[in-house]
Amino acid sequence: MAEVPAPPLKLRIDTDALAHNYRELDRLSGAAKAGAAVKANCYGLGVDQCVPTLRDAGAEIFYVAHWSEVAALAFHVPASSIRVLHGAGNAAEAAFAKAIGAVPVINSLHQAKIWTQVGGGLCDVMVDTGINRLGLSPPEVNDPILNNLDVDCLMSHLASADEDGEMNARQLAAFKDCITAIPHQRLSLANSAGVALGGDFAFDLTRPGLSLYGGIARPELKDVIRQVAFPEAAILQKRNIKAGESVGYNAEFAAACDMTIGVVSLGYADGFLRTWNLKGDGFLLHGETRLPLLGKVSMDMIVADFTNAPDLQEGDWVSLPYSLQNAAQQTALSQYELLTILGNRFER
Ligand SMILES: *Cc1c(COP(=O)(O)O)cnc(C)c1O
């Protein structure tokens, strides 16, 4: 079989920036140690590209959501360092946890029972302090079945750490109320934004995700966190169009004058959604030079105005403006979505 040519999409990961972000979040965690949320293939950036860097920067605990995510991770870190946030919800998942040695986060009395039935072993426990997603509700923390658990980390999750407001203090108080009910080795509450809330929220272990990968979870992190993900796309074709000609589906863009345009290998199937150019002000980058988007994003292609970059040729590469705070403003997508939707046609 002939070798498959390199794809026309590249996602460059700045591993120095990733290591820097981990170390900064660990430093901001004070006496607490920072773990790393690596679910959803490291927020879309790639387990193989990111986890070795996080491990070598000092991370010792890694959070995924699904059991299907464990194997890829176990290639790089000890199974006992992998925590599965959805927990073991049935006998098959509990048996898999035992076999592979990854640690479930127990979220309900049902899960506690299942874990006990397969013989238990080290686990984490999530209590829900107001987000009403996963976790034991506060009255449940006194249930005797929990006494059978060997709990490493007792944790909860903040709903609004990226905002100021009374909810953070309310969740902190609710978490403190649960601490004595369940024997544990460590406590954990803060995600990326929670790390920036300061020492009261840090406890023993923090769980940043977004900001490891360059997300500015709170304004305090703006000058601390560096961009990690740099997507690039290849130019497929250059063409000249005349005044009055249109570009793309539904002829949404019509040229006011003769111009040179470029067709770039990037579309909504790659996570570059139409929202990037809904207001007609989207752009790609050639160095610092903006290449305005023209018309609708297609599935596999986007057209840009090359007037300001006459040197660009077919086969050259252009960059996506993926500074996450700005990109979120441009697209009305969250920084989380912008990372996790980057498609699997990118060479990582
Ligand atoms: C995803 C997740 C995190 C990481 O959150 P960020 O906002 O990305 O830092 C931490 N804890 C839990 C329980 C999570 O699900």
Q: How far apart are CA 64 and CA 82, in angstroms?
A: 7
Whose alpha carbon is nearest atom 4 of ligand 1? Answer: 209
Ligand 1, closest atom to CA 192? 9
Whether the Cβ atoms of residue 115 and residue 104 lie closer than 8 Å to each other:
yes
Regions in the chain scoring below 70 on pLDDT: none
Distances (CA, A) of 5 to 121, 317, 325, 344, 345: 47, 16, 34, 15, 12
User: What's the gap between Cα 204 and its chain centre?
Assistant: 22
- The whole-number pLDDT of residue 4 equals 94
The sign of the torsion formed by the CA atoms of 81, 212, 50, 348 equals positive
Whether the Cβ atoms of residue 142 and residue 177 lie closer than 8 Å to each other:
no
The Å distance, Cα 207 to ligand 1 centre, comes to: 6
Give, to the nearest 10 degrees, the angle between helix 91-100 and helix 109-117.
60
- The whole-number pLDDT of residue 44 equals 98
Ligand 1, closest atom to CA 195? 9
Token pair belonging to 32: 């607490």
Q: How far apart are CA 226 and CA 180, in angstroms?
A: 38
User: What's the gap between Cα 330 and its chain centre?
Assistant: 19
Encode pLDDT of 70-85 as tens digits: 999 999 999 999 999 9
Enter the pTM of the model: 0.97
The Å distance, Cα 218 to ligand 1 centre, comes to: 14
Is 249 an annotated catalytic residue? Answer: yes
> Which of the residues 22, 43, 238, 249 is marked catalytic?
249
DSSP bridge partners of 136: 127
Ligand 1, closest atom to CA 65? 15
Residues with CB under 6 A from ligand 1: 37, 39, 85, 157, 191-193, 207-210, 217
- The whole-number pLDDT of residue 1 equals 81
The Å distance, Cα 11 to ligand 1 centre, comes to: 23
The Å distance, Cα 256 to ligand 1 centre, comes to: 47
The Å distance, Cα 63 to ligand 1 centre, comes to: 8
Ligand 1, closest atom to CA 207? 10
Q: How far apart are CA 133 and CA 19, in angstroms?
A: 30
> Which of the residues 39, 63, 213, 322 is marked catalytic?
39
Whose alpha carbon is nearest atom 15 of ligand 1? Answer: 85
Maximum CA extent, the chain: 77
Q: Which of 41, 85, 153, 216 to mutate to test the pocket of ligand 1 (most atoms within 8 A of CB)?
A: 85
- The whole-number pLDDT of residue 141 equals 97
Encode pLDDT of 261-274 as tens digits: 999 999 999 999 99
Residue 82, burial from CB neighbour count under 10 angstroms (0-12, 13-18, 19+): buried
Q: Which of 132, 187, 207 to mutate to test the pocket of ligand 1 (most atoms within 8 A of CB)?
A: 207
Ligand 1, closest atom to CA 134? 13
Give, to the nearest 10 degrees, the angle between helix 47-57 and helix 15-28.
50
- Strands 283-286, 289-292: pairing kind: antiparallel
Is 322 an annotated catalytic residue? Answer: no
The Å distance, Cα 305 to ligand 1 centre, comes to: 39
Whether the Cβ atoms of residue 234 and residue 317 lie closer than 8 Å to each other:
yes
Q: How far apart are CA 240 and CA 90, in angstroms?
A: 60
For residue 214, what is the DSSP state? T
